[in-house]
Structure 1
Amino acid sequence: MKIFLVGASGGMGRTFLSMQDQIEIVAGLASKEGEIEGVKIYKEFSDVKEDFDAIIDFSNKDLVDQTIDFAVEKHKPLIEATTGLEDSSMERLKQASGKIPIVYARNYSLGINTMTDLVERVAKVLADFDIEIVEAHHRNKKDAPSGTAFMLLDSVKKQRQVEEIYDRTDLHRVRQDDEVGISAIRGGSIFGDHTVIFAGEDEVLEIKHKAASKKIFAKGAIKAAKFALGKEPGLYSIKDIMKMGD
Structure 2
Amino acid sequence: MVKIILHGCNGRMGQMLTGLLKEDPQAEVAAGVDGYTGIANDYPVFPSIDECNVQADVVIDFSNAKAADGLLDYCVRTKTPVVLCTTGLSEEQLAKVEEAAKETAVLKSANMSLGINLLMKLLKEAAPTLAAAGFDIEIVEKHHNQKLDAPSGTALALADSINEASDGAYHYVYDRSQERKKRDSREIGISAVRGGTIVGDHDVIFAGTDEVITFEHRAYSRAVFGKGAIQAAKFLAGKPAGRYDMSDVI
TM-score range (shorter-chain normalised) is over 0.9
Q: Is the 8 A contact 1:77 1:102 kept in 2?
A: yes
Structural mapping, 1:1-246, within 5 Å: 1-19=2-20, 20-22=22-24, 23-33=27-37, 35-127=39-131, 128-160=134-166, 161-242=169-250
Report the CA distance between 1:35 and its aligned residue.
5.0
Instruction: Write the letter of the residue equivalent to 2:109.
Output: A
Distance 1:187 1:113 in 2: 24
| 2:137 counterpart SS class | strand
Measured in 2, the distance between the counterparts of 1:32 and 1:12 equals: 14
* Distance in 1 of aligned mates of 2:42 and 2:225: 22
Structure 2 regions of 5+ residues with no counterpart?
none
d(CA) in 1 for partners of 2:197 and 2:100? 35
Which shifted more, 167-176 or 49-58?
167-176
Determine the C-alpha separation between the residues in 1 that align with 2:189 and 2:94: 26
Q: Tell which deviates more after alignment, 139-148 or 175-184.
A: 175-184
Percent same amino acid at aligned positions? 40
1:73 positional shift: 2.3
Q: 1:45 Cα deviation (Å)?
A: 2.5
Alpha carbons 1:35, 1:41 under 8 Å: kept: no
Letter in 2 for 1:8: C
The 1:34/1:170 distance shift into structure 2, 3 A limit, reads closer
SS of residue in 2 equivalent to 1:181: strand
CA distance in 2, matches of 1:162, 1:93: 25
186-195 vs 221-230, which deviates more? 221-230
Q: Deviations over 1:2-46 (max 9, x none)?
A: 100001111111110111212411211111335533222110223
Please state how far the C-alpha of 1:145 moved relative to its aligned partner: 0.3
Q: TM-score, normalised by structure 2?
A: 0.92
Letter matched to residue 104 of structure 1: K
Provide the C-alpha distance between the structure 1 equivalents of 2:127 and 2:50, rounded to a whole number of angstroms.
Answer: 48
In the aligned structure 1, how far is the partner of 2:60 from the partner of 2:53?
Answer: 17
**Matched letter for residue 139 of structure 1:** N
Deviation at 1:173, TM superposition (A): 2.2
Contact 1:108 1:217 in 2 (8 A): yes
Once the two structures are superposed, residues 171-196 of structure 1 have per-residue CA deviations (whole angstroms, 9 ceiling, x without a partner) of 22222211211110000000000000
What TM-score, normalized to structure 1?
0.94
RMSD value over aligned CA atoms? Answer: 1.4
Which deviations, in whole Å up to 9, do the C-alpha atoms of 1:133-190 show, x marking residues without a partner? 0000000101000000000110111233112111222322222211211110000000
* Residue identity in the other structure for 1:136: K
Q: Distance in 2 between matches of 1:71 and 1:186?
A: 33
Partners of 1:50 and 1:134 in 2: how far apart? Answer: 42
Cα gap change, 1:213 to 1:75, in 2 (>3 Å): same
Q: Which whole-Å CA distance do the structure 1 matches of 2:195 and 2:90 have between them?
A: 26
Q: Distance in 1 between matches of 2:37 and 2:165?
A: 48
